[in-house]
Amino acid sequence: MHQVDCPPVKAKRTILVTGAAGFIGSNFVRLLLRQDHDLKLVAFDKLTYAGNMANLSDLLSDERLVFVKGDICDAATVESTMREHGVSEVVNFAAESHVDRSILGSGPFVQTNVVGTQVLLDVSRSLGVSKFLQVSTDEVYGTLPEDKPEVKFTEETPLAPNSPYSASKAAADCLVRSYFHTFGMPVLTTRCSNNYGPYQFPEKLIPLFVTNLIEGKQVPLYGDGLNVRDWLYVEDHCEAIWTVLNKGKFGEVYNIGGNNELNNRTITEVILREMGASWEKSVKFVKDRPGHDRRYAIDASKIKNELGWEPRFRFDSAIVQTINWYRSNEQWWRDIKSGEYLKYYQMQYAQR
Ligand code: NAD
Ligand code: TYD
């Protein structure tokens, strides 16, 4: 009998997205589903105080997405999840992510950010995943001088973390690097600057200030308010991660930044202006954060030149879009700013 040659069936990509119920992870899932890629996403999240099913709930009817509640430190659950769903790639967003909380207690940061990454690496290696992308931060490089605007973080800048948060992220980066060099694992690392956008937990500067102003409260500006961050809209970050996952070279680090350095006073002024609030009534200078890094700035020329990624969103319009998102999604943040959150707020700000 004549045999017909069938083309080999191309295996569908199945991506484990850890920390998918958090700010950036949920934006990443949302973007990929919207772009209509032919893939399956396994959203994996412990649902800590920062993880929120409301960030994903409107997406769960999509058959390309499944949600699994689990801890990245729990090797058995990670392994069974990856086997059951045939995971071929891993993008690790899961982390304890807030510097101020890492100052209150570093234990959970070492546990999730370091041990969790090690567990994910080991399970991924034993199952032979084809890609492992570690989502890291520019904070691993430490701080930059204010008086030398030409100096920015490159991928060659030595790691010099200054907070327990950034120290735990740097440790994870070192583990990822070592699994490339020792085991030849197909790893990629991205280091991004500060993100803003929808679904960000209202403990971070921008959503905290916007929601406080809607509530008629003051906004607490640390120290002299002149610390500088390089702000990037979250969708740009997600696009950059997708670009690195598809085109990045294994073992490489890619910096991601907005080329958008602003100090905290300027950010505050922009928010106040947009919300019709006055500086005199609304701003409270409070005691500085211990070890507060003065300036972050990313040189993103490598990802631009080698992979063709550049930010698409402009700060002046994306910040207005972001403020409007918090205005039209009051229930989302009011649900968060109750219970446990109030205890944290009290502990963080009452004595300042
Ligand atoms: P987030 O705090 O909003 O979300 C973190 C998510 O991880 C939450 O859903 C939480 O439930 C989950 N998680 C925590 N511990 C877990 C565990 N042990 N197992 C499984 N899930 C767990 O954080 P984010 O702002 O979305 O940051 C995501 C990643 O991006 C982090 O790795 C962070 O270091 C990195 N990053 C963030 C920024 C930023 O500006 N937010 C900038 C650069 C890099
Ligand atoms: P944050 O959003 O916590 O991000 P990161 O510390 O990871 O950069 O803080 C951004 C900047 O805003 C940082 O310089 C600290 C400052 N900040 C305040 O002035 N007041 C606040 O209440 C918070 C949360 C941050």
**What pLDDT shows up at residue 6?**
52
* Catalytic annotation present for 139: yes
| Nearby residues of 12 by Cβ (< 8 Å), 6 or more positions away | 38, 39, 40
* For the CA of 219, the nearest atom of ligand 2: 22
Report residues whose beta carbon is within 6 angstroms of any ligand 2 atom.
99, 194, 204-205, 208, 220-222, 227, 229, 264, 289
**What pLDDT shows up at residue 1?**
42
The one catalytic residue among 71, 96, 139, 230: 139
Closest CA to 188 of 92, 113, 258: 92
Whole-angstrom distance between the N-terminal and C-terminal Cα of the chain? 84
* For the CA of 203, the nearest atom of ligand 2: 24
**What pLDDT shows up at residue 351?**
84
**What pLDDT shows up at residue 147?**
94
**Alpha-carbon distance 350 to 352, whole Å?**
6
Q: What is the phi/psi pair of residue 308, to 5°?
A: 80, 20
**Length in residues, the chain:** 352
**Ligand 2 centroid – CA 205 distance (Å):** 5
22 Cβ below 6 A of ligand 1? yes
Residue 33 has which token pair? Answer: 């589903």
Whose atoms come closest to the Cα of 265: which ligand?
2
**What pLDDT shows up at residue 37?**
79
* For the CA of 221, the nearest atom of ligand 2: 19
* Domain coordinates in residue numbering, the chain: 13-345
**Alpha-carbon distance 106 to 336, whole Å?**
23
**What pLDDT shows up at residue 352?**
83
Asked if residues 274 and 232 have their Cβ atoms less than 8 Å apart, the reply is: no
| Nearby residues of 323 by Cβ (< 8 Å), 6 or more positions away | 210, 271, 274, 275
112 Cβ below 6 A of ligand 1? yes
**Alpha-carbon distance 261 to 94, whole Å?**
26
* Catalytic annotation present for 146: no
**What pLDDT shows up at residue 339?**
87
| Nearby residues of 76 by Cβ (< 8 Å), 6 or more positions away | none
* Catalytic annotation present for 215: no
Q: Which CATH number, 3.40.50.720, 3.30.70.980, 3.50.50.60, 3.40.50.300, labels domain 13-345?
A: 3.40.50.720
Stretches in the chain below the pLDDT threshold 50: 1-3
Q: Which letter does DSSP use for residue 7 in this model?
A: P
Closest CA to 143 of 278, 289, 248: 289
**Alpha-carbon distance 6 to 2, whole Å?**
13
